[in-house]
Amino acid sequence: MKRSIAAIALAAALVVPSTAQAVGTKTYDVCGGNYGSSWSGFAFCASVQLTVTKRAGATNVWTVALQIANLSGLNGSYVGSVFTQIGLDNIISTATLASSPNRPNIEVWQDVDHDGDQDLVCSNPYNSQDPSLKCWRIVENQNATGGFNIDFLDQTSNGLNRDIASLCIDNEPTLLYTCLSQYPVTLKFDINKDFDPNTSGQIYIHSETILPNWEHGVAQCETGSSVTSSQRCTAATFSTASVTATPEPATLALLGTGMAALGGPGFFRRRRNKKAAEANA
């Protein structure tokens, strides 16, 4: 089955209930980040659709949905890049995560079995920071890598849990594979005040990988004019050419020199577990 980038908008309609009142939707098609001398192109590319809706039947609750397609491998970016943090910055309001009597209700959705319907991958209703949950969690007003201060920083829990990859092969069960734009991942959470994404809000993306020289690469960027040009994601136009469910040999070769090096995903897991142990020491 073949799909184009344009299918992302249709998938969003399936995620947001028809009874919800939309505040606004904005799409960011961007490339950015820098892995240094080991990789000369963009670190990663992505398409992120930000949607804010009023939660039906709830008082002072709005749902933020970030629909993410990892398009790394396009526009000269590195195919082995995986997204471990997605941030929402510069919200011109006093919005915070929903709290008692409501709750953040963090959810991760994707068409996991590729049948056209969105599946609940994992949930974190009370925004637990426990890494054993193996889902995503949110911190507010958080200092992120690269000197960014992010209003809502959505990130995977410790270890390689639900990182978002661009490939089509499901050879690592803890990764979420978007197959470029075919199977985007939606991160959802509730806040206590609305905002219009067309007038406020910027997207922050943090990526990690294993580079061809076996180094651990980390890169990030943010949209909008409030960050320096070196930190800013670059607006991108992607080809609407469809992709197949099986990567081409060139893609597999890049994966072999990227993510698979040094044990591939297991390297990230060991690295993060080591960091957690050092932090708790």
| Strand segments (E) across the chain | 21-32, 44-54, 62-70, 82-89, 106-110, 119-124, 136-144, 148-156, 164-165, 176-177, 185-191, 202-210, 216-222, 234-235
Segments of the chain with pLDDT less than 50: 1-19, 241-267, 269-281
pLDDT of residue 131: 84
In a domain, 184, yes or no: yes
Instruction: Look at residue 263 in the predicted model and tell me its pLDDT.
Output: 39
Placement of tokens 């990663």 in the chain: 44
18 in any annotated domain = yes
Q: Is residue 1 part of a domain?
A: no
Domain that holds residue 42: 7-280
Cα 67–187–30 angle (5° rounding)?
Answer: 40
Query: What predicted TM-score, i.e. pTM, was given to this entire model?
Result: 0.80
Q: Decide if 23 is inside a domain.
A: yes
Domain count of the fold of the chain: 1
Q: Residue 2 domain-assigned? A: no
How high is the pLDDT of residue 21? 64
Q: Return the residue matching tokens 């959705």.
A: 109
Q: Within a 10 A sphere around the Cβ of 174, how many other Cβ atoms?
A: 14
Residue 74 lies in a domain: yes
Nearest CA among 53, 72, 28 for reference residue 204: 28
User: In the 8-state DSSP scheme, what is residue 262?
Assistant: G
**pLDDT at residue 261 in the model:** 34
Instruction: Quick: pLDDT tens for 142-184.
Output: 988 888 999 999 998 765 679 999 999 877 778 999 999 999 9
Say how far apart CA 115 and CA 17 lie, in whole Å.
19
At residue 185, the pLDDT reads 97
Calculate the CA 152 to chain-centre distance.
Answer: 13
* Cis upstream peptide for 125 (omega within 30°): no
Q: Is residue 43 situated within a structural domain?
A: yes
The predicted pLDDT at position 157 comes to: 72
